[in-house]
Structure 1
Amino acid sequence: MIPRLLSFGVLLAVGVFSQDATTVGPIIVHTETSVVVNTEISVIVNTDVIVIVNTEVNTVLPTEIPSVASTVWSTLFPSEGLTTPTTVAPPVEPTEPPEDPRCTPGCTFEPTILDSATLKYFPKNCSTVCSASALYIGYETDLTEKQMIDTLKNMKHLVGDLIVTRSKYKTARFLASLESVDCYNYGFFKFTLNDKMTEIGLPNLTNVSCRIHISSNNNLTRLNMPQVIPILSTYANYSTIDVEISYSAPSFCITIQEMSNLMTYEYIKFSLITGSYCAVSSNSTSTEKKTCDLQNYTWSNMSTECVNVHGDVIINYENQDLAYMFESVESIFGSLIIYGTNLTSIDFLGKLEHIISLTEEQPALIVEMNSILSNVSFPSLQRIQSRAYVPVLFNNNSVSLLKDPSYCYDIRNSVTTSDTWIVKFDDQVCEDVEKAAAASVVKDKSTRGAHLQLFLITIVSIGVLFNF
Structure 2
Amino acid sequence: MIFWYNFLSLLIPLTTSEETFEFFKSRCDSKCTLQPYHIDSESISLFPIDCSSVCAYILIDQNSDLTENQLKNYFRNMRTLYGSVKIKDTNFPSLNFLSRLETIECVPVQLIGIINNPNLANATFPKLKKIQSDNKFLMIFQGNHPVLLKDPNFCKSIKKQLNSTEWHAPSVDGKSCEEIEDAQSSNNQIGVLLVVMITMILLVF
Whether TM exceeds 0.5 here: the answer is yes
Larger Rg: 1
Structure with the bigger percentage of helix? 2
How far apart, CA to CA, are the structure 1 residues paired with 2:108 and 2:18?
13
Shift in CA distance, 413/328, structure 1 to aligned 2, threshold 3 Å: same
Could you report, residue by residue, the CA deviation over 1:131-160 in whole angstroms, capped at 9, with x for unpaired residues? xxxxxxxxxxxxxxxxxxxxxxxxxxxxxx
Which residue pairs with 2:104 in the alignment? 355
Which residue pairs with 1:318 in the alignment? 63
Secondary structure of the corresponding residue to residue 337 of structure 1: strand
- Alignment match of 2:54 (pick from 309, 313, 321): 309
Which residue pairs with 2:138 in the alignment? 391
Secondary structure of the corresponding residue to residue 441 of structure 1: helix
| CA drift at 1:303 | 4.8
Could you report, residue by residue, the CA deviation over 1:336-365 in whole angstroms, capped at 9, with x for unpaired residues? 1111222221122222122222243x3x21
Contact 1:382–1:414 (CA<8 Å) still a contact in 2?
yes
Contact 2:27–2:55 (CA<8 Å) still a contact in 1?
no
- Alignment match of 1:407 (pick from 133, 148, 154): 154
Q: TM-score, normalised by structure 2?
A: 0.71
How far apart, CA to CA, are the structure 2 residues paired with 1:445 and 1:340?
37
Contact 2:84–2:106 (CA<8 Å) still a contact in 1?
yes
Which residue pairs with 2:115 in the alignment? 368
Q: Does 1:332 align with 2:81?
A: yes
Which residue pairs with 2:4 in the alignment? none
Counterparts in 2 of 1:212-231, with a 5 A limit? none
- Alignment match of 1:293 (pick from 34, 38, 42): 34
Query: What are structure 2's unaligned runs of at least 5 residues?
Result: 1-16
1:348 is aligned with what amino acid? Answer: F
Q: Does 1:259 align with 2:27?
A: yes
| CA drift at 1:257 | 6.9
Which residue pairs with 2:91 in the alignment? 342
Could you report, residue by residue, the CA deviation over 1:240-296 in whole angstroms, capped at 9, with x for unpaired residues? xxxxxxxxxx94554547437xxxxxxxxxxxxxxxxxxx64xx1xxxxxx241427
Could you report, residue by residue, the CA deviation over 1:294-333 in whole angstroms, capped at 9, with x for unpaired residues? 4277113435444233221112233251432223221222
| CA drift at 1:366 | 0.6
| CA drift at 1:446 | 4.5
**Looking at both structures, which has the greater relative contact order when contacts are Cα pairs under 8 Å and sequence separation is at least 6?**
2
Shift in CA distance, 308/437, structure 1 to aligned 2, threshold 3 Å: same
Secondary structure of the corresponding residue to residue 183 of structure 2: helix
Could you report, residue by residue, the CA deviation over 1:73-128 in whole angstroms, capped at 9, with x for unpaired residues? xxxxxxxxxxxxxxxxxxxxxxxxxxxxxxxxxxxxxxxxxxxxxxxxxxxxxxxx
CA RMSD of aligned residues (A): 3.1
How far apart, CA to CA, are the structure 1 residues paired with 2:196 and 2:124?
34
Shift in CA distance, 399/452, structure 1 to aligned 2, threshold 3 Å: farther
| CA drift at 1:392 | 1.0
Q: Percent identity?
A: 23
| CA drift at 1:434 | 0.9
How far apart, CA to CA, are the structure 1 residues paired with 2:197 and 2:45?
55
2:129 is aligned with what amino acid? Answer: Q
Q: TM-score, normalised by structure 1?
A: 0.34
Shift in CA distance, 341/251, structure 1 to aligned 2, threshold 3 Å: closer
Counterparts in 2 of 1:225-244, with a 5 A limit? none
Query: What are structure 1's unaligned runs of at least 5 residues?
Result: 1-249, 261-279, 285-290, 461-468
| CA drift at 1:433 | 1.3
Could you report, residue by residue, the CA deviation over 1:428-454 in whole angstroms, capped at 9, with x for unpaired residues? 211111111222233344556667888
Structure with the bigger percentage of strand? 1
Which residue pairs with 2:9 in the alignment? none
Counterparts in 2 of 1:143-222, with a 5 A limit? none
How far apart, CA to CA, are the structure 2 residues paired with 1:446 and 1:306?
56
How far apart, CA to CA, are the structure 2 residues paired with 1:452 and 1:342?
43
| CA drift at 1:417 | 4.9
Shift in CA distance, 258/446, structure 1 to aligned 2, threshold 3 Å: same
2:130 is aligned with what amino acid? Answer: R
Which residue pairs with 1:424 in the alignment? 171
Query: Which is worse superposed, 320-329 or 421-430?
Result: 320-329
How far apart, CA to CA, are the structure 1 residues paired with 2:133 and 2:23?
17
